[in-house]
Structure 1
Amino acid sequence: MYANKHYENDIKYSMQLNRFACRLLGIWPSIETESSNFENLRRILLILVCYFLLACELIPTILYVIIVEKRTRVKLKLISSVMFTTLAVLKYSSLVFTQSKVRNCLMRVRDDWQNVANAKARESMIDRARTARRLLLLCSLFMYTSGLYFRTVVPLSKGKSVNNRNITIRFLPCPSYFIFFDGQISPAYEIMFFIQFLSGFIKYTITVAICSLAALFAMHLCAQLEILMSLINDFINEPEEKNLAKRLAATVKYHTEMRNFFQLVQKTLEHTSLLEVMGCTMIVCLLGHDILTEWEDQNVIAMFSYLVLLTSIGFNIFIFCFIGEQLSEEGEKLSLTVCTLAWYRLPNAKARALILIIAMSNIPTKLKAGKFFDLSIKTFGDVVKTAVTYLNLIRKVME
């Protein structure tokens, strides 16, 4: 191990976008120094504001579905919006209550950047950090593009309508029922439009923050697995017998720390990944039904908005499954590496020491969603099939 002279720039490069997204939500923990009272107060206020904005959208929409809307077909459309907001509240709460675990993960990432095995290991970590940044940017592009379109273009394109009572109706991004005031009168309408716009921005930022943290930690783990394989190969190919004990100790220490970090990442992401995959599966199903109904009604603008939302949410599920697949593949490569080692080159005592390394390497490195199922490309295929199955079931029921 040697000190990385460029670790500050490397840490900034790997965490910069994650930090920006999480700070918007008030959930980015301080990893360098203890937080000041002002910083803690700022985070608390941001968290309260986020909850307030989410509640300002969720509660009126639920009241509208229960009290005002009587058409089953329209209710079904609104349920997907209610589910997405509820899911955002749950995911945000999970992030708020796991800040200490996120902080521990970030501190471990920082320490790994400060002390890398060699220059080749640093290049491997940079390459994986670049992949994590690209995934974050793609997720942000899909979420914010679809969200802003749904929050602005769709309601404004509807213009105004006159109901049976000869009352002019102006459309909000999410239909709402307000008990204490009339949401159609200025400036109440403009204020609620702006609040719902901000609420949507918060929901999309929550999704981006979760995907960014998952990508950062999983890709960092992939880099650590690559470095571990390099250390094991260097240990086997060490020509000087006197250096074997030192290399073996360093390899075992690195392997143990990597496994501990993997367990910490698993505990940090297990609930949010479960909410993301299972919740988005149901939302994808409902959005598919909305697209088909808008197609039947020949409403091109609404159909396009639902299609964009469907694509963005489906891509979020794919990101989780993709990073899980990448981590699983690196774990399999490690297992293959240690099982095909030229152990016969080592003295007997050192060769016997490899038994525990081989046993540890054969433990699968698979991210699990809530300890129920693995995150993999196969899981993504199962999610798509499940969503299509439920979509067909809903259409049969609605007929």
Structure 2
Amino acid sequence: MSQNKHHQSDILYITQPTRNILLALGAWPSINKGESIHSKVHNLLLIFMSYSLLFCDLIPGILYWLMKATTRVRLQMIPLLLYDFMSVSQYGIFISRYDQLKRCLKHVEEDWENILSVDARNIMLKSARTGKRLVTICAFFMYSGVITFRGILPLFQGKIVIDQNVTIRRFACPGYYFSFDVQVSPVYETVFIIQFLTGFITVSIVTCACGLTAIFVVHACGQLKILISLMTGLVQKEWQEECETNKKLAEIVEHQIRDWQTRNIGTLCSYLISIINVIIHMFLFCYTGEQLTGQAEKVAITSCMLEWYRLPDRKARSVVLLIIMSNMPTKISAGQFIDLSLKTFGNVMKTAGTYFNMLRSVID
């Protein structure tokens, strides 16, 4: 196969901004053969700092939910605690499956290195741009949401004075801190900054999950588009030599084998942005799943519509195996329970609407 001389710059292009965020979290799996001790120690330090901030936010929140919160506050805190728990779990997956992510990225790099032609590279770049736009949009809303919810909103709500003539300054996330008086300076400012930084870490983790999904799915879609082009080109001409037919068929089979493996404006705006973030997060996963499934269906249709009779008789029989492999379904699932597609996204939105109606009835 011919080599793509620009594959290194292509890899850097398609993995932004996911690579930059994971580097900041110490979880980017370098594709290089070896890593220096300094790099490993640096990553371990970043992981330790990130987990420390995450648990400084999660543990006080859980204690407050168990010991201090009223029923109404508990209902309001459930999504926040679940979001934090999900972020901790996703971060753990990035770290525990470091080697698997590294192998996947290496596989992607090899595909870019072995691109057959300029047209094939353009197809891959077009798919990569789509994934990069999705991740950029997701990151924009995620970081806008955390700045609003954890930075602007507590300051916008201002201070409150309780019956004992004690002034209370608000936090974005309620927490139980035992005997520490978090209302005095500089303790309040310290906790406020910790919660703000923790918010950036949580949305960074979620953005990276979306980013990795987009990188791998749009890459697979690009490879499937190239596969369709190869399959179509197999029968577009009357190949005069048998060896040329064998070469074309071998390229298709090899390519296919690689593919089948509270009511105020500030609070309202903050919650609205948070809901939009979650919706965009779900939509990205479902949209990419829909794209992969749709592209796989196009491969199956193309294989069934091939003009196999234009091939030599013995070689036409090989197309049967190609058709069988092409009709194997390619889908992304959530824990192998639900296929991710636009239909699934619609069902989730309907269920969410029902839940909000039920929650509103309980609170009222």
Compute the TM-score of the two structures, normalised by the length of structure 1: 0.88
Corresponding position of 1:351: 316
Equivalent in the alignment of 2:85: 86
Asked whether the equivalents of residues 235 and 310 of structure 2 are also in contact (C-alpha less than 8 Å), the reply is yes
Counterpart mapping for 1:122-137 below 5 A? 122-137=121-136
Query: Where does residue 162 of structure 1 map in the other structure?
Result: 161
Per the alignment, residue 384 of structure 1 pairs with 349
Give the Å deviation of 1:75: 2.1
**Does the CA contact (< 8 Å) of 1:211 and 1:320 recur in 2?**
yes
Q: What aligned pairs does 1:72-111 form with structure 2 within 5 A after superposition? A: 72-111=71-110
Q: Which residue of 1 aligns with 2:39?
A: 39
Please identify, of 184-193 and 94-103, the stretch whose mean Cα deviation from structure 2 is larger: 94-103
Find out whether 1:121 has 2:120 as its counterpart: yes
* Residue in 1 that maps onto 2:60: 60
- Please tell me whether the aligned partners of residues 64 and 177 of structure 1 are also in contact (alpha carbons under 8 angstroms): yes
CA deviation map 1:215-249 (0-9, x unaligned): 01000000000011111112222423320011111
Of residues 24-33 and 120-129 in structure 1, the stretch that sits farther from structure 2 once superposed is 24-33
Indicate the residue corresponding to 1:319 in structure 2: 284
**1:1-399 equivalent positions in 2, closer than 5 A:** 1-70=1-70, 72-238=71-237, 239-242=239-242, 243-260=244-261, 294=262, 297=263, 299-399=264-364
Residues 326-353 of structure 1 show CA distances to partners (whole Å, capped at 9, x for unaligned) of: 1111001000000000001111110100
Determine if contact 1:140/1:208 at 8 Å carries over to the other structure: yes
Quote the offset at 1:163 in angstroms: 1.3
State whether residues 147 and 200 of structure 1, in contact with CA within 8 Å, keep that contact through their aligned partners in structure 2: yes
Q: How far, CA to CA, are the matches of 1:5 and 1:80 in structure 2? A: 48
Q: Deviation string for 1:93-144 (max 9, x for gaps)?
A: 1222121111111001111111102111000001011111101110011100
Structure 1 range deviating more: 315-324 or 167-176: 167-176
8 Å CA contact retained: 1:58, 1:86? yes
- What amino acid does structure 2 have at the position aligned with 1:53? L
Per-residue Cα deviation, 1:142-190 (whole angstroms, up to 9, x for no partner): 1000111111110001211111222111111211121142111111111
In 2: Cα distance, 1:20 partner to 1:200 partner: 17
Report which of the two has the higher share of helix.
1
**1:328 touches 1:365 (CA, 8 Å); kept in 2?**
yes
Residue deviations 1:10-33 (CA, integer Å, cap 9, x gap): 111111312101111111011023
SS of residue in 1 equivalent to 2:171? coil
Q: SS state of the match for residue 160, structure 2?
A: strand
Deviates more, 1:111-120 or 1:329-338: 111-120
**Structure 2 partner of 1:283:** none
CA distance in 1, matches of 2:260, 2:78: 41
State the distance in 1 between where 2:19 and 2:32 align: 13
Which amino acid in structure 2 is aligned with residue 377 of structure 1?
A: L
Structure 1 Cα separation of the partners of residues 120 and 9 of structure 2: 16
2:64 and 2:200 mapped to 1: Cα distance? Answer: 22
* TM-score of the pair, normalised by structure 2: 0.97
Distance 1:352 1:370 in 2: 38
**Structure 2 residue identity aligned to 1:29:** P
Q: Contact 1:328 / 1:364 at 8 angstroms: preserved in 2?
A: yes
Whole-angstrom CA distance in 1 between matches of 2:64 and 2:119? 59
**Paired residue type of 1:251:** I
8 A contact 2:157–2:266 mirrored in 1: no
- Amino acid in structure 1 at the alignment position of 2:98: Q
**Paired positions, count:** 362
Amino acid in the other structure paired with 1:192: V
Q: Deviations over 1:50-94 (max 9, x none)?
A: 111011011111222222223x22221122211111111111112
Hey, what does 1:265 align to over in structure 2?
A: none
1:373 aligned partner, one-letter code: I
> Is the contact between residue 150 and residue 199 of structure 2 (CA under 8 Å) also seen in structure 1?
yes
Deviation of 1:392 after TM superposition, in Å, equals 2.2
Q: Contact 1:117–1:227 at 8 Å: present in 2 too?
A: no
Q: Which amino acid aligns with 1:353?
A: S
**Once the two structures are superposed, what CA deviation does each residue of 1:347-397 show, in whole Å capped at 9, x if it has no partner?**
111010011110000001111111111110000001001111222222333
8 Å contact from structure 1 (residues 331, 364) kept in 2: yes
Equivalent pair of 2:62/2:81 in contact (CA under 8 Å): yes
